[in-house]
């Protein structure tokens, strides 16, 4: 039994996709390329003697991604159900492969190098897992009340992926996968008691992860009191808060960030939201958050009006994935939660991430199209 | 429900953003600005400290020095190649130094303390990231002269003690600097520009120190140190009409050019204003002035001293065993007779005596323009009983600084006005020579009337001419003054054998141009035994003599003549030394202000005989022979509750 499936939408086959969603995505993409340019110009000029190094690439990825999105919006989403097991298998294979032949960047073996391109298997795996979980949960909806037959198989699959990603290690992606899985399980109607069991296991698991890599605990300390470690673990958070605070209500103006002058590490990826705050102020940051709120609202709406359970779960998974990533990224940047390296969807620089996200949105659009919204 | 949960999370983040970007914005942006700011300081030349005649006591020569900001030097090799020949250095060495990852570097050794020609050549190159500042060292043409008054400068030429500290802001001028917003790696943020504030040289300060008198004083201190091996010596010379300090010196001292190798207590403390101790008999001047002002005594009144004074059941003894017998109050002053002063204290009463003590400036800082001045300690009025009143009247149980005593006696010298002491008379712009500000003498208050002041001076002139201060007498210079001997208290008890002998004098007595105070802490005469009255008085006599000549004050003929010119020379009583150890004999002699010479003969630990014998009456200036031996006859008790001086 699916939760939230109370509404019984009228179907109008062949109706148009969700234009509000498309509008929001295009706005976010345009804004993202602009911000990547502004945030990265100093770093690009310093490292590559080309202020447009990152923004050129990001614009290209965005164009390709939009193309992909439009193409996928025309592909019947049920295709993914048929191929879900294969896609999942490929995802796991890539996650193993990256551990063997991956490229080490910034302490994490998260990248597969193909020529000058780098792809991040964890990004691919996120979407692959969402597809497979949607399939699995739709299949097993009569068993959802059972712990061993309903709850454990999907959770087990997710944990295997998380385990592989933690070997890279990449805490951010792991958290996003766990969050997305929980949202999907919740919508599929899993029992509260099962989630509680998981929570208990999670605490134990976290303790284990901290035992393996004590630097994770340091992140917690740095989060609790970043000012105590101004040059160490608290540095990023403090620099991020400097940026947000300097922006104030109205911001310093587009392109006027000072924190991007090598103070804030990687301002075009994980901490791009700080630069948004510095240049465009509270007005800018809240606007971005509201755009994401609209995106989430349209995504959940698509899930509600999906023609079948697989569609509902797939739409929920894709929307949930984006939402979790947004919340974690902005939570970190504002010092609200401990540091976890994750990019801001559609805005942060990153080809793999952008392509996969836009693919997800393409699928979402196809679901919305088949739902045939009736206002 | 899911939608609601996600929207709640977004709402929470918006709240957090509003807090960070609204509420905390001012605080955070201020911190951020600080982290962007880079300031390279530029200094001007520190001002000189001059003697009253304009001679520099310390100055800083111009020493242009290069400050390089490596992150602003794009063409490091070219810059090094242009600088190296001017600095007489190898290109490699310059290049290596300007390539360091520092905010700023000095190019050593050639880029420091350059000539003006070199500095101009560097200036002409207009190289980015190369700035000029001043890095001169303090020079002291007179070595350690007035070291504690001048004080020292530390890192970055900041005044740490003395006038250097007190007038640091005047001397150091205004710092300049190059301020720019920087990237995290120190490079300029393009387009932001930078602000260069040129430094301003410091002003000169002209002190009231008279170079000649200061040198006299330091010479006298050196001789006293050689003769008496004291723990410390302090001397102050004041112009009583203005409160200007003409000389101030201490032993032990230090060389300010090399203060880091000196004992910190020598440069951290200026004993003349910091040290507090019981003044002893010099304080009797205050009691006398108060009693005369309150009309409690006429100096011709008679007083009988049986050798003690009974206060609240206690017998306080006079320093002279057996007492001075019947005497006038002028004799009381001349003889420094303790019972006589106890009587004056009782006649005044504690309220009146202590109000005069405070009016004369004791118990509070004088406000001299030097850091580190002591307060001194007075009994609280509520705690003053008859005993405390009695001891205070002759200078025990109060704790005062040398500068307080000088200013109090200065008030007697100038007709009753307590002045505020000062050391800096003018602040002068070194470039134009224009006087920026002048110190005007400050009268704190009128303490006693001019008539009473004159009366006290007359009595003190008599002390020098006829009494315990005869060794300060100088023909024609009408020196008035008073000796003092104080036992030093440590941890609430008097330290046996530890005395501070002092003398405070002024001249000429009818219209003093100088007040001079000398205190010698814990003298250890080389040849064993010296009478206290012989130590400090002649030093003050010498200083006043030389000082008045230096100021061009003519000698007078109408002063009091020394009494020994008349037939009736008052004899002094020889103390009994027989049976005392050398140490005990020393202490006994130090307490006694009689003008007697001592010759010690033989070997051994104790005095076994003396000539003339104890109790004998002899002329002042006579010599007493003491014979040392091994035998130890029954030791006489040496009692010294009350000291004379």
Query: Cβ A286–B2 below 8 Å, yes or no?
Result: no
Domain residue ranges of chain A, discontinuous segments joined by +: 19-371
Q: How far from the centroid of its chain's Cα atoms is residue A108's Cα?
A: 18
Q: Reply yes or no on whether the pLDDT at B562 is more than 90.
A: no
Residue B383 CB: number of other CB atoms within 10 A? 8
Residues in chain A closer than 8 A to B20 (CB atoms): 241, 244-245, 277, 334-335
Judged on CB neighbours under 10 Å (0-12, 13-18, 19+), B295 is: exposed
Query: pLDDT at position B411, please?
Result: 96
By the 8 A CB rule, do B256 and B49 touch? Answer: no
- B133: nearest Cα among B44, B207, B265: B44
Q: What is the pLDDT of residues A69-78, one digit of tens each?
A: 999 999 999 9
Contact A277 B17 (CB under 8 A): yes
Cβ neighbours of B36 in A, within 8 Å:
258, 261, 263
Average pLDDT over residues B447-459: 95
Give the pLDDT confidence score for residue B565 in this predicted structure: 41
Show Cβ contacts of residue B211 under 8 Å, excluding neighbours closer than 6 positions: B51, B52, B53, B55, B57, B142
For residue A293, give the chain B residue with the closest CA.
B7
Find the mean pLDDT for residues B593-605.
76
In the prediction, which pLDDT does B627 show? Answer: 82
First-residue to last-residue Cα distance in chain B: 100
Decide: residue B198, CB within 10 A, 0-12 exposed, 13-18 middle, 19+ buried. Answer: exposed
Each residue's pLDDT tens digit, B122-175: 888 888 888 888 888 889 999 999 999 999 998 778 899 999 999 999 998 888
Q: What is the mean pLDDT of chain B?
A: 85
Confidence (pLDDT) at A231: 60
A222-226, B285-289, B409-413: range with lowest mean pLDDT: A222-226
Distance CA A63, CA A29 (A): 9
Collapsing DSSP states into helix, strand and coil, what is residue A104?
A: strand
CA-CA distance, B625 to B572, in Å (whole number)?
A: 16
The residue that leads in pLDDT, B251 or B526, is: B251
Q: How confident is the model at residue B28 (pLDDT cuts 50, 70, 90)?
A: confident
* Contact criterion met (CB < 8 Å) for B35 and A242: yes
Q: Is the pLDDT of residue A28 over 60?
A: yes
* Dist CA B203 CA B171 (whole Å): 5
- pLDDT at residue B505 is higher than 80: yes
What number is the average pLDDT over the span A41-66? 86
Query: Cα distance from B19 to chain A (closest Cα, Å)?
Result: 9
Q: Which of A185, A248, A277 to mutate to test the interface with B (most CBs of B within 10 A)?
A: A248
To the nearest whole angstrom, how far is the Cα of A368 from the nearest Cα of chain B? 17
Burial label, A124 (beta-carbon count in 10 A; 0-12, 13-18, 19+):
buried
Q: Which residues contact B189 (CB under 8 A, 6 or more apart)?
A: A258, A261, B36, B180, B181, B182, B183
Joined together, the tokens standing for residue B31 give: 């911190």
B-chain residues near A320 (CB < 8 A): 2
Query: Which pLDDT band holds residue B294 (cuts at 50, 70, 90)?
Result: very high
Within 13 Å, how many C-alpha atoms sit on residue B468's CB side? 35
Q: Give the one of A187, A245, A296 whose C-beta lies nearest to B24's C-beta.
A: A245
Q: Which of B15, B25, B30, B32 to mutate to test the interface with A (most CBs of A within 10 A)?
A: B32
pLDDT at A367: 92
Residue with tokens 């740095």: A222
Average pLDDT over residues B208-213: 95
Comparing A48 with A108, the larger pLDDT belongs to A48
Confidence of residue B476 (pLDDT cuts 50, 70, 90): confident
Two tokens, residue A224: 């609790």
Mean pLDDT of A205-227: 72
pLDDT per position as a tens digit, B356-381: 999 999 999 999 999 999 999 888 88
Start-to-end Cα distance in chain A: 25
Q: Does A12 touch chain B (CB under 8 A)?
A: no
Q: Is the CB of A248 inside 8 Å of chain B's CB atoms?
A: yes
Domains in chain B: ranges and CATH: 38-202 (3.90.1310.10), 211-565 (3.40.710.10), 572-629 (3.30.10.20)
Work out the average pLDDT over B401-410.
Answer: 96
Do A334 and B32 count as a contact with CB atoms less than 8 A apart? no
| Predicted local distance difference test score (pLDDT) of residue A10 | 45
Q: Strands B138-139 and B417-420, how do they pair?
A: unpaired
Confidence of residue A12 (pLDDT cuts 50, 70, 90): very low
Q: B172: which DSSP letter?
A: H
- pLDDT classification of B632: cutoffs 50, 70, 90: low
Instruction: Kindly report, residue by residue over A301-344, the tens digit of the pLDDT.
Output: 999 888 888 999 999 999 999 999 999 999 988 888 877 788 89
The mean pLDDT value for B249-276 works out to: 92
Which residues of B fall within a CB distance of 8 Å from A4? 1-2
- Judge whether residue B526 has pLDDT over 70: no
Closest-approach residue (CA) in chain B for A239: B32
Catalytic sites of B, residue numbers: 281
Strand B37-42 to strand B176-181: parallel, antiparallel, or no bridges (unpaired)? antiparallel
The model's pLDDT over A147-191, given as tens digits with 9 standing for 90+, comes to: 888 888 888 889 899 889 888 888 888 889 989 998 998 888 888
* Mean pLDDT of the region B48-73: 88
**Predicted confidence band at B563 (pLDDT cuts at 50, 70, 90)?**
low
Top residue of B8, B11, B21, B189 to mutate, by most chain A CBs within 10 Å, is B21
pLDDT-wise least confident of A209-223, B483-497, B558-572: B558-572
Residue with tokens 């006694």: B592
Residue among A262, A289, A327 whose CB faces B183 most closely:
A262
Would the pLDDT of A133 be above 60? yes
Contact A282 B1 (CB under 8 A): no
Cβ neighbours of B183 in A, within 8 Å: 42, 261-263
Q: Which residue of B has its CA nearest to A261?
A: B183
pLDDT at B645 over 60: no
Q: Contact A233/A218 with Cβ under 8 angstroms?
A: yes
């Amino acid at each position: 039994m699916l939760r939230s499936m109370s509404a019984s939408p009228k179907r109008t086959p062949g109706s148009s996709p969700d234009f509000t969603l498309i509008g929001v995505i295009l706005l976010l993409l345009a804004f993202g390329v602009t911000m990547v340019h502004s945030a990265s110009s100093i770093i690009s000029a310093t490292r590559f003697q080309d202020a447009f190094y990152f923004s050129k690439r990001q614009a290209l990825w965005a164009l390709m991604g939009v193309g992909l999105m439009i193409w996928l919006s025309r592909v019947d989403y049920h295709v993914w159900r048929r191929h879900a097991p294969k896609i999942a298998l490929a995802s796991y294979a890539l996650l193993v492969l990256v551990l063997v032949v991956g490229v080490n960047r910034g302490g994490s073996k998260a990248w597969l190098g193909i020529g000058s391109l780098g792809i991040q298997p964890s990004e691919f795996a996120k979407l692959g897992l969402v597809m497979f979980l949607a399939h699995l949960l739709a299949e097993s909806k009569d068993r959802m009340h059972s712990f061993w037959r309903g709850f454990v198989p999907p959770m087990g699959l997710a944990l295997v992926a998380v385990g592989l990603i933690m070997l890279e290690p990449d805490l951010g992606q792991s958290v996003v996968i766990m969050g997305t899985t929980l949202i999907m399980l919740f919508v599929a109607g899993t029992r509260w008691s099962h989630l509680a069991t998981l929570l208990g296991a999670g605490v134990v698991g976290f303790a284990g992860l901290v035992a393996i890599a004590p630097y994770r605990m340091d992140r917690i300390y740095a989060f609790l009191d970043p000012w105590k470690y101004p040059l160490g673990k608290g540095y990023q958070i403090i620099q991020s808060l400097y940026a947000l605070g300097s922006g104030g209500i109205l911001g310093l103006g587009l392109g006027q960030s000072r924190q991007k002058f090598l103070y804030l590490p990687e301002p075009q990826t994980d901490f791009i939201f700080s630069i948004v705050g510095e240049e465009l102020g509270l007005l800018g940051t809240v606007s971005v958050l509201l755009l994401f709120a609209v995106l989430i609202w349209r995504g959940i709406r698509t899930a509600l009006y999906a023609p079948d359970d697989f569609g509902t779960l797939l739409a929920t998974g894709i929307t949930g994935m984006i939402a979790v990533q947004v919340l974690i990224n902005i939570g970190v940047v504002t010092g609200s939660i401990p540091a976890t390296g994750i990019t801001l969807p559609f805005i942060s620089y990153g080809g793999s991430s952008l392509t996969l996200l836009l693919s997800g949105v393409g699928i979402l659009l196809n679901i919305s199209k088949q739902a045939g919204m009736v206002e | 429900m899911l939608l609601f949960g996600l929207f709640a999370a977004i709402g929470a983040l918006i709240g957090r953003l509003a807090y960070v970007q609204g509420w905390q914005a001012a605080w955070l942006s201020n911190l951020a600005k600080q982290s962007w700011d880079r300031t390279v300081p530029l200094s001007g030349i520190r001002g000189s400290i001059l003697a009253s005649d304009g001679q520099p006591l310390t100055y800083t020569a111009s020493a242009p020095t290069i400050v390089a900001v490596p992150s602003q030097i794009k063409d490091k090799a070219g810059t090094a190649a242009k600088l190296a020949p001017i600095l007489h250095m190898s290109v490699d060495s310059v290049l290596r130094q300007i390539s360091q990852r520092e905010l700023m570097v000095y190019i050593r050794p050639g880029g420091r303390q350059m000539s003006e020609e070199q500095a101009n050549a560097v200036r002409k190159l207009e190289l980015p990231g190369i700035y000029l500042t001043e890095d001169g060292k303090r020079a002291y043409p007179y070595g350690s002269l007035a070291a504690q008054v001048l004080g020292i400068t530390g890192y970055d030429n900041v005044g740490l003690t003395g006038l250097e500290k007190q007038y640091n802001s005047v001397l150091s001028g205004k710092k300049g600097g190059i301020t720019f917003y920087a990237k995290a790696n120190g490079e300029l943020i393009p387009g932001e520009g930078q602000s260069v504030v040129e430094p301003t040289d410091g002003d000169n300060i002209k002190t009231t120190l008279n170079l000649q008198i200061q040198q006299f004083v330091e010479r006298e201190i050196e001789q006293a140190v050689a003769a008496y091996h004291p723990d410390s010596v302090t001397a102050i010379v004041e112009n009583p009409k203005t409160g200007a300090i003409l000389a101030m010196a201490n032993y032990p001292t230090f060389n300010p050019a090399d203060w880091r190798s000196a004992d910190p207590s020598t440069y951290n403390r200026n004993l003349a204003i910091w040290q507090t101790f019981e003044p002893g008999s010099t304080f009797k001047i205050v009691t006398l002035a108060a009693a005369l002002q309150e009309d409690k005594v006429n100096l011709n009144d008679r007083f009988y001293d049986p050798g003690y004074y009974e206060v609240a059941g206690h017998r306080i003894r006079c320093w002279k065993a057996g007492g001075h017998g019947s005497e006038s109050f002028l004799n009381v002053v001349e003889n420094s007779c303790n019972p006589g002063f106890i009587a004056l204290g009782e006649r005044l009463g504690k309220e009146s005596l202590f109000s005069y003590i405070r009016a004369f400036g004791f118990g509070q800082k004088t406000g001299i323009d030097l850091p580190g001045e002591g307060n001194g300690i007075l009994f609280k009025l509520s705690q003053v009983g008859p005993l405390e009143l009695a001891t205070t009247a002759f200078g025990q149980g109060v704790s005062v600084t040398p500068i307080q005593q000088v200013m109090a006696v200065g008030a007697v010298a100038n007709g009753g006005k307590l002045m505020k002491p000062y050391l800096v008379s003018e602040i002068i712009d070194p470039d134009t020579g224009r006087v920026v500000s002048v110190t005007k003498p400050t009268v704190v208050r009128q303490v006693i009337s001019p008539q009473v002041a004159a009366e006290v001076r007359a009595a003190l002139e008599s002390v020098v001419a006829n009494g315990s201060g005869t060794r300060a007498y100088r023909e024609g210079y009408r020196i008035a003054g008073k000796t003092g001997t104080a036992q030093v208290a440590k941890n609430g008890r008097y330290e046996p054998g530890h005395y501070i002998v002092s003398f405070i004098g002024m001249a000429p007595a009818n219209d003093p141009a100088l007040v001079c105070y000398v205190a010698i802490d814990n003298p250890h005469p080389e040849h064993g035994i010296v009478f206290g009255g012989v130590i400090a008085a002649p030093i003050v006599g010498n200083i006043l003599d030389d000082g008045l000549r230096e100021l061009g004050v003519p000698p007078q003929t109408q002063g009091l003549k020394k009494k020994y010119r008349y037939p009736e020379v008052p004899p002094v009583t020889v103390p009994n030394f027989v049976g005392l150890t050398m140490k005990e004999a020393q202490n006994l002699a130090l307490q006694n202000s009689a003008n007697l010479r001592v010759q010690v003969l033989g070997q051994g630990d104790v005095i076994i005989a003396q000539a003339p014998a104890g109790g004998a009456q002899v002329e002042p200036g006579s010599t007493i022979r003491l014979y040392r031996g091994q035998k130890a006859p029954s030791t006489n008790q040496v009692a010294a509750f009350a000291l004379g001086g």
